[in-house]
A and B are shown apart, each in its own frame.
Chain A
Amino acid sequence: MSFLRSLASRDRVFDFLVPVESPVDVRHGPILYLEDVTVSFDGFKAINDLNLTIDDGELRCIIGPNGAGKTTMMDIITGKTQPDSGKVWFGSRHDLLTMNEPQIASLGIGRKFQKPTVFEALTVFENLELAMAADKRILPTLTARMNGEIRDRIDEVLLTIGLAELRGRRAGILSHGQKQWLEIGMLLMQRPRLLLVDEPVAGMTEQEMERTAELLTGLAGKQSVVVVEHDMGFVRSIARKVTVLHQGGVLAEGSMDQVSSDPRVVEVYLGAEAEEEAV
């Protein structure tokens, strides 16, 4: 049915004429576009008429109380969960709802999960090497050689994530914060257009948080970054634009000052937190 509809629409060429892995089209601004997305689990609406637009190169923070649908939203974007209705577009050419997880990943959407998983037995350098976009079939992997170009790319990412001096150390000995940065580095090796970062500073020390803030703000511009985070201080330090989710929909959007002075936000989220802190 949707196929027939796509044949009927005049403003697009036929789907099968557009190669799926063609470069992302961001000429119209947004790199990610969610419209009226709804998903329910056993009748519970985890996401309810969600509308969200992320511009190319933007750094966006998404906050919201537990159960607001932050993780489900990430799952929908990466193809892990199919919404019941709505549209999810990557650029103005790629309908993410028609793609599976690996396709979406290869399109340039990288996701960093909450718990860092790096390969502890391998060195920092080797972790980045494995993460690099390359021919990942067996024989090319067996005969792969290190060359200057690959080394330069890895060095570049090592500098970005600030682990250049630890390149030869095993990832297992890294601190929690360093593992988080390494994992962000592993995502960067795949040259993503959009990074989804889930609670990057949970469990980090004050200094590590500062470094992470620098890292993420440095990444924005070159790629778009969406950060889901609980830590208000951290969000305040990096965000130019904040989206507050509540009960599966967008409650407020704007600068940190705007949203934190929004009475509805104060009520559902900041207020709740203030109460918690008071207790």
Chain B
Amino acid sequence: MQSRSWLMRPFGERSTLIFLGVLLATMALVTLLHVAVPAGHPLYVSAYTVNLFGKYLSYALLAVAVDLVWGYLGILSLGHGAFFALGGYAMGMYLMRQIGDRGVYGHPVLPDFMVFLNWDSLPWYWHGFDMAGFAFLMVLLIPGALALMFGFLAFRSRVTGVYLSIITQALTFALMLAFFRNEMGFGGNNGLTDFREILGFNLRSSDTRLGLFLATGVALALGYVLCRAIVTSKLGRVCVATRDAEARTRFLGYRVERFQLFVFVVSAMLAGLAGALYVPQVGIINPSEFSPLFSIEIVLWVALGGRATLYGAVIGAILVNYAKTVFTGVMPDAWLFALGGLFVLVTVFLPRGVAGLLALRLRRRGDSDASLSAKEAAA
């Protein structure tokens, strides 16, 4: 298996093939039930539900990004929401520019909130976002650049463990405060909203929603394979070595801080991509995505699903968010208690998360998948 090229390696793993199979089957089934089944039929999947699934998948991609740095590198980032939100804002800026002169004030260039604030020209950093290619590039580059800068300073000074977690938390909090300010030029506390179309497709049509759901599914599949390729490479083993014995790894001649930086930047870019897919599906991006609480919630998804498996992160993100949707519908006030309770239960009874439970099942059947045994370590 090791003699394959690093990008092809995940396709030799059973766990990856199962994951991709389940994901593609789900995407196909949802599409079929949405398109071919008449509305009103019990099996019909509404555009609302498709949209909801799309949102879950973008959260799942975000969880995979967090699991890459937390599960394999041991960096507990409590600020990954910041990269998610920045990707979302980059996408939001593109969608704002797409509105053109159809806004409430009908200004040909300026978004509504700028007209409202009596601005007479576009801030320099809003230029270029009318071009889809540029905007989509920024979705990756802006979170990547922030992670590069932040990671360079943090890892070079060998800030790790709980201190790094606190700094990432502070980072996202600082960004939240900054984005709340109207002077920043990102719509203040209202954020960016009232989007109309993406790449010429009407965002309110159910076909576009289906398309966005499918695009998110494809992005999740690609992101998953990329992460899997990284963790099954020798670099992935250096990451695990760093997680467990950083000084020893450095002593072997690996420049640990560079490996940390590389993986952190990849993870931030994936989080940005997740944010960019999330925004057109929910129709709004505002500073609350930067809130520290959200970033902590992401970590909870990964912990519930099971660290250092990647598929566990996906399971965790979807389960928790499904539970959230149900709970906030029935008793909105109880959700945070339910989340806390769930977390306590899982930590006590399933220290390796839902994925740990799955692995146990497989092992009882005499399975000896290498990726499963590697995960034991994470516990």
A105 near B234: Cβ-Cβ < 8 Å:
no
Q: Cβ of A36 < 8 Å from any Cβ of B? A: no
Q: How far is the CB of B3 from chain A (nearest CB, A)?
A: 6
Find residues 110-140 in chain A having any chain B CB closer than 8 Å to their own CB: 117-122, 126, 129-131, 136-138
Whether B234 pairs with A144 at a CB distance below 8 angstroms is: yes
A141 CB to closest chain B CB (Å) equals: 5
Is A142 in the interface zone, CB < 8 Å from B? Answer: yes
B248 and A117 within 8 A (CB): yes
Contacts of B2 in A (CB 8 A): 145-146
Most B Cβ at <10 Å: residue of A102, A106, A138, A141: A141
- In angstroms, Cα B218 to Cα A84, docked, is 63
Q: Give CA–CA (A62, B257) in the complex, Å.
A: 36
Number of residue pairs across A and B with beta carbons under 8 Å? 81
Chain A residue contacts of B252, Cβ below 8 A = 130-131, 136, 186
- Give the bracket for the number of chain B residues in contact with chain A: 20 to 34
Interface residue SS majority, chain B = helix
Contact call B230/A142, Cβ cutoff below 8 A? yes
Q: Is there an interface contact between A119 and B248, defined as CB atoms closer than 8 Å?
A: yes
CB distance from B140 to the nearest CB of A (A): 18
A131–B258 CA distance with the chains assembled, in angstroms:
18
Interface membership of chain B positions 244-257, coded 1 if the CB is closer than 8 angstroms to chain A and 0 otherwise: 11011101111100
Inter-subunit contact B253/A143 (CB<8 Å): no
- The verdict on B164 contacting chain A, using a C-beta distance below 8 Å, is no
A126 and B237 contact, Cβ closer than 8 Å, known pairs A106-B253, A119-B245, A142-B230? yes
A145 with B4, Cβ < 8 A, contacts A106-B253, A172-B377 known: yes
A199 to chain B, nearest CB (A): 18
Interface size on A, residues (CB 8 A): 26
Q: Mark B285-321, 1 if CB is under 8 A from A, else 0.
A: 0000000000000000000000000000000000000
* In the complex, chain B residues whose CB is within 8 Å of the CB of A261: none
B96 within 8 A of A: no
Q: Which of A117, A146, A147, A170 contacts B376 (CB 8 A)?
A: A170
Indicate if B119 sits at the interface (CB-CB under 8 A).
no
- For A174-187 the 0/1 string (1 means CB < 8 A from B) is 00000000000010
Least CB distance from B248 to A in Å reads: 5
A106 to B252, CA, bound (A): 10
Q: How far is the CA of A172 from the CA of B244 in the complex (A)?
A: 11
**Given A105-B253, A122-B237, residue A138 in contact with residue B6 (CB < 8 A):** no
* A141 adjacent to B377 (CB under 8 Å): no
* Contact A141/B373 with A121-B244, A121-B378 known, Cβ cut-off 8 Å: no
A138 and B241: CB pair below 8 A? no
Which residues of chain A come closer than 8 Å to B376, judged between CB atoms? 121, 170
Asked if B138 lies at the interface with its beta carbon under 8 angstroms from chain A, I say no
B105 within 8 A of A: no
- Which residues on the A side are within 8 Å of B248 (C-beta)? 117, 119
Asked if B233 is at the interface of the complex by the 8 Å CB criterion, the answer is yes
Q: Is the CB of A141 within 8 A of B240?
A: no
Taken together as a complex, chains A and B put the C-alpha atoms of A143 and B262 apart, in Å, by 14
Q: How far is the CA of A105 from the CA of B255 in the complex (A)?
A: 14
User: Does B121 belong to the interface (CB within 8 Å)?
Assistant: no
* Minimum CB–CB distance for A133 against chain B, Å: 8
B39 at the interface (CB under 8 A from A): no
Give the Cβ gap from B371 to chain A, nearest Cβ, in Å: 12
Q: Min CB distance, B329 to chain A, in Å?
A: 41
Decide if B258 touches A138 in the complex (CB within 8 Å).
yes
With contacts A105-B253, A122-B240 taken as known, whether A142 is within 8 angstroms of B374 at the C-beta atoms is no
* B377 in contact with A120 (CB, 8 Å): yes
Q: Is the CB of B233 within 8 A of A119?
A: no
Please, how many angstroms separate the alpha-carbon atoms of A121 and B72 in the complex?
Answer: 11
Q: CA of A138 to CA of B258 in the docked complex: distance in angstroms?
A: 7
**For the complex, is B235 an interface residue (Cβ under 8 Å from A)?**
yes
User: CB distance B235 to A141 under 8 Å?
Assistant: yes
Scan B354-379; emit 1 where CB is below 8 A from any A CB, else 0. 00000000000000000001101110
A130 touches B373 (CB 8 A): no
Q: Which 4 A-B pairs have the closest CB atoms?
A: A121-B377, A146-B2, A144-B234, A142-B235
Pick 17 A–B contacts, CB within 8 A, sort by A. Answer: A102-B253, A106-B253, A117-B247, A121-B244, A121-B378, A122-B241, A129-B234, A129-B237, A130-B252, A137-B255, A138-B262, A142-B6, A142-B234, A145-B4, A145-B6, A146-B2, A147-B3
7 other A-B residue contacts (CB within 8 Å) besides A117-B247, A129-B237, A141-B235: A120-B377, A121-B240, A122-B377, A126-B237, A129-B234, A141-B234, A143-B233
Question: What residues of chain B have their CB less than 8 Å away from a CB belonging to chain A?
Answer: 2-6, 230, 233-235, 237-238, 240-241, 243-245, 247-249, 251-255, 258-259, 262, 373-374, 376-378
